[in-house]
Structure 1
Amino acid sequence: MVHQFENNGYKIVMDVESGSIHVVDDVAFDVIPLFEKNSLNEIVEQLSDRYTADAVRESYNEVKELKEEGQLFTEDNYESYMNGFKAFKPVVKAMCLHIAHDCNLACKYCFAEEGEYHGRRALMSFEVGKAALDYLVKNSGSRRNLEVDFFGGEPLMNFDVVKKLVEYGRSIEKEYNKNFRFTLTTNGVLLNDEVMDFVNKECGNVVLSTDGRKEVHDKMRPFRNGKGSYEMIIPKFQKMAESRNQTNYYVRGTYTHFNKDFSKDVIHMADLGFKQISVEPVVAPPSEDYAITSEDLPELLEQYDILAKEMLERKKNGKDFNFFHFMIDLEGGPCVAKRLSGCGSGTSYLAVTPWGDFYPCHQFVGNEDFLLGNVFDGIKRTDLQDKFKLCNVYSKENCKDCFAKFYCSGGCAANSYNFSNDINGSYDIGCELQKKRVECAIMLKAAEADLI
């Protein structure tokens, strides 16, 4: 499959299956879509009103050479490989520990219902967390590096258990030849020097939740009394980012129908000094006034273009920052299985509730149709796990012929389910946004190459 697009003055051609990216001139850009179904003479004739015959022939030969080298028009040989995944026993490598089903904020778009997850408020006990870590070690096979995310709600509402679980994890690493990589996601309300010192010592990454400009953040992330939280958390987050030398963290925001000009929020965070930024589109039913609609798409797509151009200018001036969704590896990247099956929800990745129940990921928590088992008895719904094993770009009709499939890995299974009632369905708005992000990311790579 070949995908062509123009962005910021660059004419770019992607060979999807090989991963090859080409920045081409006008002639090649027009020759390539005609190449496979037309002879050289036919292409010369069709483009005679734009280019000389010699120019077309030269371009044609260059395209032909790229095809022969396996850099254009390559075939997809991965589908049979992915269909064999059902036979493999899952190896768990990551867990999302819901250390607290409670929160001190009342974020309006929260899928966790202010931490309750359609159930009850609760804090994870050390015993449940210990059982979860034991299960992870026992079921991780030969994999040495294990990922554990302390999540909520707000995990700092149960900080003592977080500390005890990290201590326990460290105590068994050598015995089982494992290395725990801990992550903490926090809204910042309870962040203080003690927490920062602990996180900097023990956590490989930290996610700091903020939505950008004060008016945007305070509208969607207030305290329960309605007061905004921006003024309290931003100085803490700035201190946290600096204490980590501006690496191994993200300020992570959510944009909604109310801030369709979200590039301004990203720029605002960059102007505050943050170097690692992620802003995600809200995922919400159309009944919510903050939900993104298909009518919002033109403006949102333009925002990614605006952001990409701004980032390029800042890089030229030595004021660059990273935007998570524009970070793309064109040379290495994840292994093929990871690129085709995504996060591994329900198989290599599990979410654990405060009382020890397993769900495929945090977005499924509370929906008992997706209850897989628990930390004490293991996985009981192997039939459900088998469905997640085979959830990949080839099981999703809308993904098979999409140029972005190797970059988005089929998208989020939870979003697909929530909008199509099928983990192998799709969330169309999310797909359009993802495709634009991939195009912008590739354009930035092309532009950065010009700067070298």
Structure 2
Amino acid sequence: MIHQYINNGYYIVLDVNSGSVHSVDPLLYDVISFLSERIPDSEKPFQIAQSLKDETAAALKEKYSQEEIREAFEDIQELIDQEELFTADIYKNFVMDFKKRQTVVKALCLHIAHDCNLACQYCFAEEGEYHGRRALMTFEVGKKALDFLIANSGNRRNLEVDFFGGEPLMNWQVVKQLVEYGRSQEEAHNKKFRFTLTTNGVLLNDEIMEFCNREMSNVVLSLDGRKEVNDKMRPFRNGTGSYDLIVPKFQKFAEKRGDRDYFVRGTFTHNNLDFGKDVLHFADLGFKKMSVEPVVAPDEEPYAIKEADLPQILEEYDRLAAEYVKRHKEGRGFTFFHFMLDLTQGPCVAKRLSGCGSGTEYLAVTPWGDLYPCHQFVGNEDFLLGNVDTGVTNTAVRDEFKLCNVYAKDKCRDCFARFYCSGGCAANSYNFHGSITDAYDIGCEMQKKRIECAIMIKAALADGSDE
């Protein structure tokens, strides 16, 4: 399967099955385009038939000379021989074995606080309550969760625990206790915990910053961008904006953080379809690592992203990508999460086929110890998997998630992006279509554009020119 596109002046050819990416000239681009409609994916390298070469030359004779086309075919044949063009789908043969694989739990999202000190308008957690009562996780419940993770992680050594909410800093003492307990269990069980934290920053202070820089592998700092954008969607409960209080704290924290991982993470909505300006605003504030995600909301919400918004959104990603390249070449580069792409190795087979591992390898834990496939399913009793006391008892739901992969989704099978996005978010699929094996269509279009931009950026930065 071949995917071709032109982005910011770069002619990109992606061999989907092998993951090979080629930045080519217009001649090679046009010849491959002509061939891709006539050559099926091959189980092994093949020789292009002379009759097909003649047909191609005749079709393109008005644009290119016969000698140019002949040289193009030599280059294409070399790529085919190296299994970098028109290759077979190397993953489809793994599907049955993949479905039967033994899974272990490797990550937990601990809902340390079902409460929040902000009233973000788009919050899927209903201001931290998750369709239920406000609650803080006790140390005892959190300890059981870590014990559950250790007991169900098999031979896996590296384990991940994300302190999530609501707002985790509203239960800070328990966060510290659980980190201390986790560290105390590492040597005895041959495990290593990677703790992360997501915070809105309202309660951030020097003591918390110091602790996070010592113990947290990653910290996600929630901020939506420019002051007017952030304060419209992320106010306090009294309606006042949070930007002026939070930004100086985040700037101080990012400076103290040094080279340790962090992300300033925003959400864009129908209200700021020019979200690229918010990304650049983060960069201008001094932040080096950032992510701005599209809101996912029912169509009736005034801030929801509509299908009609897509053309503007896709153009915005293109503009942002061009500026991203420009700033990197000027020595003012930053990291944008959706433009991070590993073209040399990439994710393992399991990640390529099933993504985040929700419901199997990754679970969410409520303040009272209930287990759900991920934080977005919390409160939906149909997806209640069990409890930290009993373990996973609803094996039917777990097995449903185990079977959720790109070959189980009709919309993914012929999509060029399937091995990059791994089928997208199961929760978004369920919320819009009532099935975890469908796909959130608006999200798919944005994801495909982000992948195209990320590949273009690789080509542009490898190019080395200042244009």
C-alpha contact 1:86 1:386 (8 A) present in aligned 2: no
Q: Distance in 1 between matches of 2:24 and 2:100?
A: 43
Note the alpha carbon deviations across 1:194-235, whole angstroms, 9 max, x for none: 110110111000000000000000000000000000000000
C-alpha contact 2:339 2:450 (8 A) present in aligned 1: yes
Q: Distance in 2 between matches of 1:178 and 1:264?
A: 42
2:86 corresponds to 1:73: yes
**Residue 399 of structure 1: SS of its match in structure 2?**
coil
Alpha-carbon offset, residue 357 of structure 1? 0.4
2:216 corresponds to 1:210: no
C-alpha contact 1:391 1:423 (8 A) present in aligned 2: yes
C-alpha contact 2:351 2:422 (8 A) present in aligned 1: yes
Q: Distance in 2 between matches of 1:268 and 1:197?
A: 26
Q: How high is the sequence identity, in percent, across the aligned residues?
A: 67
2:76 corresponds to 1:63: yes
Note the alpha carbon deviations across 1:272-311, whole angstroms, 9 max, x for none: 0000000000000001000000000000001111111111
2:72 corresponds to 1:88: no
For residues 318-357 of structure 1, what are the structure 2 equivalents within 5 Å? 318-357=331-370
Match of 2:200 in 1: 187
Q: Distance in 2 between matches of 1:220 and 1:246?
A: 30
TM-score w.r.t. the length of structure 2 is 0.96
**Counterpart of 2:30 in structure 1: which amino acid?**
D
Q: Distance in 2 between matches of 1:127 and 1:102?
A: 19
**Aligned residue-pair number:** 452
**Residue 181 of structure 1: SS of its match in structure 2?**
strand
**Residue 363 of structure 1: SS of its match in structure 2?**
helix
2:442 corresponds to 1:425: no
C-alpha contact 2:213 2:260 (8 A) present in aligned 1: no
**Residue 408 of structure 2: SS of its match in structure 1?**
coil
**Counterpart of 1:123 in structure 2: which amino acid?**
L
For residues 290-439 of structure 1, what are the structure 2 equivalents within 5 Å? 290-439=303-452
For residues 15-164 of structure 1, what are the structure 2 equivalents within 5 Å? 15-35=15-35, 37=38, 39-164=52-177
**Counterpart of 1:390 in structure 2: which amino acid?**
L
RMSD of aligned alpha carbons: 1.0
Alpha-carbon offset, residue 388 of structure 1? 0.5
Q: Distance in 2 between matches of 1:373 and 1:315?
A: 47
Unpaired stretches in structure 2, ≥5 consecutive residues: 39-50
C-alpha contact 1:246 1:274 (8 A) present in aligned 2: no
2:211 corresponds to 1:198: yes
Note the alpha carbon deviations across 1:2-51, whole angstroms, 9 max, x for none: 10000111100000110100011111111112225271100000001111
Q: Distance in 1 between matches of 2:90 and 2:331?
A: 42
Unpaired stretches in structure 1, ≥5 consecutive residues: none
Q: Distance in 1 between matches of 2:302 and 2:199?
A: 26
Alpha-carbon offset, residue 61 of structure 1? 2.1
2:285 corresponds to 1:272: yes
Pairing partner for 2:183 from 170, 177, 189:
170
Alpha-carbon offset, residue 53 of structure 1? 1.0
Alpha-carbon offset, residue 424 of structure 1? 0.3
C-alpha contact 2:15 2:86 (8 A) present in aligned 1: yes
Match of 2:3 in 1: 3
Alpha-carbon offset, residue 68 of structure 1? 1.7
Alpha-carbon offset, residue 89 of structure 1? 2.7
**Residue 111 of structure 1: SS of its match in structure 2?**
coil
Q: Distance in 1 between matches of 2:387 and 2:457?
A: 44
C-alpha contact 1:246 1:275 (8 A) present in aligned 2: no
**Counterpart of 1:98 in structure 2: which amino acid?**
H
Pairing partner for 1:251 from 246, 252, 264:
264
Note the alpha carbon deviations across 1:402-443, whole angstroms, 9 max, x for none: 111111111000001111110000100000000000000000
Q: Distance in 1 between matches of 2:112 and 2:232?
A: 26
Pairing partner for 1:228 from 241, 247, 267:
241
**Residue 207 of structure 2: SS of its match in structure 1?**
helix
Q: Distance in 2 between matches of 1:86 and 1:28?
A: 39
C-alpha contact 1:253 1:280 (8 A) present in aligned 2: yes
